[in-house]
Amino acid sequence: MQKTKKTSLKSYNSFGVNAISTKFTIANSEQKITEFLERISFSSPIILGGGTNILFKNNIDTNIIKIEIKGITITSETSKHIDISVGAGEKWDDLVNWSIQRNYGGLENLSLIPGNVGSAPIQNIGAYGVELKDCFLRCRAVSVESGTIKIFNSNECDFSYRSSIFKKDLKNKYIISNVSFRLSKKNHKINLSYEPLKKHIINKNITEPTIKDISNSVIEIRNSKLPDPKIIGNCGSFFKNPIISLIDFKKLNETQNNVPFFNVSPDKVKVPAAWLIEKCGFKGKKEGNTGTHKAHALIIVNHGKATGKEIFNFAQKIKNAVLRKFNILLEEEVNIIEN
């Protein structure tokens, strides 16, 4: 059922910001998306999934469309793999559980990431050594400008670290309705490239981990580390980990001791944003109704009554401090919605 009405967005965003939307619509099918676009004369709406990576800075007068298309369908199968097609409104972690229960491999390292399937390609979600692109086949999307359907394969999505074409040239131009994945049925590729996950598995004395073991371990690590948005509002990492040149990294090491890093390419490294923020004295800092989490400098939290603007201004303060101290410009991972 499609509805347009004035709505508090508090329960629709994991920051728990009480922004008011004057035009809020839910679509549970591709046809409803097309009808909605026709009704708003193909003007650009705000697209909403689970709201776990979005900050509403103000009340919102622009039309919002929340995608709730459901369904997981096996579209083809061989002895080695299955291809599945998943409605954009399915919860990501429900899909992961669905795959683990049936012993289909590929999504186990991405256990417990909040949000919906349709949003997963937007920032090429990733965790514990795996990214969405590793199992992605294609997605179906409705053009916001014409209502026509386009299928995007992996190349066309132009996936990179926490990014895709949908965050760049095609930002807000397509509403993803469906995502297809290829999952393994046997000889699963167990990915233990992320050192803390490997250690966790070794500490549990597991010598030949199954995808279920990987999923369980990821869940245990995540539960021990990440604040639950149901208890304290947050959107996970607020900023991306900056990727800098080796030359800049060497300069950084001239003034700082033991700068942590991950190799990205022969001439580039990734530096943990949390380390930079912590060095600027922001870890666990509380300011009014907002602040950073006590255990995670990269996670900005809502202590209860923070407005979107308060959270945004606090994030800018962090960004300025990191820029002044390290000459590194942090980029938001969270999508900031102005209006």
Ligand X SMILES: Cc1cc2nc3c(=O)[nH]c(=O)nc-3n(C[C@H](O)[C@H](O)[C@H](O)COP(=O)(O)OP(=O)(O)OC[C@H]3O[C@@H](n4cnc5c(N)ncnc54)[C@H](O)[C@@H]3O)c2cc1C
List residues with catalytic annotation.
162, 237, 333
Q: Closer to ligand X at the Cβ: 20 or 232?
A: 232
CB of 185 to ligand X, least distance (A): 26
* SS3 at position 46: strand
Q: Are 315 and 321 in contact (CB under 8 A)?
A: no
Closest to 118 measured CA to CA, from 158, 77, 66: 66
- Tokens at 248, concatenated: 């800049």
Among positions 45, 51, 106, 242, the unique one binding ligand X when judged by CB under 6 A: 51
Q: How many CB atoms lie within 10 A of CB 180?
A: 19
Q: Give the C-alpha separation, 99 to 35, whole Å.
A: 33
Q: Does 176 bind ligand X (CB under 6 A)?
A: yes
Residue type, 133: K
CB of 63 to ligand X, least distance (A): 12
CB of 26 to ligand X, least distance (A): 12
Q: Does 48 bind ligand X (CB under 6 A)?
A: yes
Please say whether the dihedral angle defined by the alpha carbons of residues 27, 312, 131 and 190, taken in this order, is positive or negative.
negative
Element (H, E) at 222: helix 211-225
Q: Does 47 bind ligand X (CB under 6 A)?
A: yes
Q: How many residues bind ligand X (CB under 6 A)?
A: 31
The pattern of x and - marking residues 253 through 292 that bind ligand X according to CB under 6 A reads ----------------------------------------
Q: Closer to ligand X at the Cβ: 60 or 127?
A: 127
Interface segment toward ligand X; rule CB under 6 A; list 2-10, 233-241, 254-262, 301-309: 233-241
Q: Closer to ligand X at the Cβ: 22 or 143?
A: 143
For 325, list phi and psi in degrees, rounded to 5.
Answer: -75, -40
CB of 102 to ligand X, least distance (A): 22
The number of CA neighbours under 13 Å toward the Cβ of 177 is 18
Among positions 17, 113, 252, 277, the unique one binding ligand X when judged by CB under 6 A: 113
Q: Are 336 and 312 in contact (CB under 8 A)?
A: yes
Q: Are 164 and 126 in contact (CB under 8 A)?
A: no
Interacting residues of 114 by C-beta distance below 8 A, sequence separation 6+: 14, 50, 52, 92, 93, 229, 236
Interface segment toward ligand X; rule CB under 6 A; list 76-84, 226-234, 309-317, 323-331: 226-234
Q: Give the C-alpha separation, 72 to 301, whole Å.
A: 33
CB of 247 to ligand X, least distance (A): 29
Among positions 99, 164, 191, 335, the unique one binding ligand X when judged by CB under 6 A: 335
Q: Are 295 and 224 in contact (CB under 8 A)?
A: no
**Residue with the two structure tokens 């097309």:** 34
Q: Which of residues 81-100 bind ligand X (CB under 6 A)?
A: 88
Q: Closer to ligand X at the Cβ: 126 or 242?
A: 126
Q: Give the C-alpha separation, 87 to 28, whole Å.
A: 9
Q: Give the C-alpha separation, 28 to 34, whole Å.
A: 11
Interface segment toward ligand X; rule CB under 6 A; list 1-9, 95-103, 108-116, 266-274: 108-116
Q: Closer to ligand X at the Cβ: 49 or 105?
A: 49
Interface segment toward ligand X; rule CB under 6 A; list 20-28, 124-132, 187-195, 201-209: 124-132
The residues of the shown chain that bind ligand X, judged by CB under 6 A, are 14, 47-54, 67, 88, 113-116, 118-120, 122-123, 125-127, 175-176, 226, 229, 234-236, 335
